[in-house]
Amino acid sequence: MPGHPAGPARHLRSRPLLRHLLEMTLAMVAGMLLLGPARAALGTALGLPPASPGVGALLMATDMSAGMAFWMAYRGHSAAAIGELVSAMYAPVVLLFVPYQIGLLDEHTLLAGVHLLMVPAMAAAVLRRRAEYARHPVTRPAPRHPLARMLAHRWPAGLALLMTADNLTSPALLGAYTLLVLPAGYLAIGTVRRQWRGRGNLRTQLVGLVVWSALALVAALSGGTVGQWLVALGWLAHSGWDWIHHRTRRVVPRAYAEWCAVLDAVLGITIIMAILTS
């Protein structure tokens, strides 16, 4: 039937848009994680008082916009597209600032609302220029400098290190329930990517779900130092799980597997550091 390919074709057309949204979201997170602490450290060094929640929301939007704008410029997007997405980052702050100032919203609601509204605002800006976002306007040559090549190739690992910077400087314990997130991520991504037709893919992930769920249960029931060690070992073991999937290219994208492997390893190590120093 002529109409049958419409579903797959639509799915293929939507993938570049989703990839762009993911790339820009990661760039926003990287900007916030990199520029936020640097700005806070500079303010402390200069003796400046902490920013109010309203100003803090604007500064957060600035950090995220800077990371996203840098990535978009690197990808060769137009200045108009960059300006629209930067505006989309500030729009939620402007929208909620007045209700916050007159007391209708508290600090936590302001920040949560800004984060929630940024996603549809960014999606609307992307859909407005879907033809541009369906492809990368510029194909850039690979960086020549070894360090630049490494950063471009290993950006998922770099992002994971940025996201765990606080854990590295201030190791903390994690609850046993956090182990349940590990297999859930693979099952969710595998479902979205329609990976269950591959031989053994679903069975393997269900085995992982059983193993990490059982480990979480035993850790919760054990409690104390034993439970904490089980949580640490669970995160470290999942780093190995990520590495295997990275090498075999199964179920999840390689970038996700690399990011997850580094994140899990750092969290496992920092949990052990917290156990040994507590």
**Which residue has better confidence, 45 or 143?**
45
Supply the pLDDT for residue 75.
80
Supply the pLDDT for residue 90.
94
Supply the pLDDT for residue 22.
77
List of residues 6+ apart from 58 with CB closer than 8 A: 90, 93
Tens digits of residue pLDDT in 208-257: 999 999 999 999 999 999 999 999 999 999 999 999 999 999 999 998 99
Stated pTM of the model: 0.67
Tens digits of residue pLDDT in 39-90: 887 888 888 887 888 888 899 899 999 989 988 888 888 899 899 999 999 9
Gap between the Cα atoms of 85 and 82, Å rounded: 5
Q: Tell me the one-letter amino acid at 1.
A: M
Question: What does the pLDDT average to over 199-213?
Answer: 96
Per the CB < 8 A criterion, the answer to whether 118 and 31 are in contact is no
Helix and strand numbers (H, E) in the chain are 12, 0
Nearest to 179 by CA among 221, 203, 211: 211
Confidence of residue 12 (pLDDT cuts 50, 70, 90): very low
Q: What share of the chain is helix, strand, coil (3-state, %, to 5)?
A: 80, 0, 20
The CA angle 76-126-162, to the nearest 5 degrees, is: 70
**Which residue has better confidence, 71 or 152?**
71
Per the CB < 8 A criterion, the answer to whether 161 and 266 are in contact is yes
Structure tokens at 58: 């604007």
- pLDDT of 3 over the 60 cut: no
Per the CB < 8 A criterion, the answer to whether 270 and 167 are in contact is yes
Kindly report the number of other CB atoms within 10 A of residue 155's CB atom.
Answer: 18
Tens digits of residue pLDDT in 88-142: 999 999 999 999 999 898 888 998 899 889 888 988 888 888 888 776 655 555 5
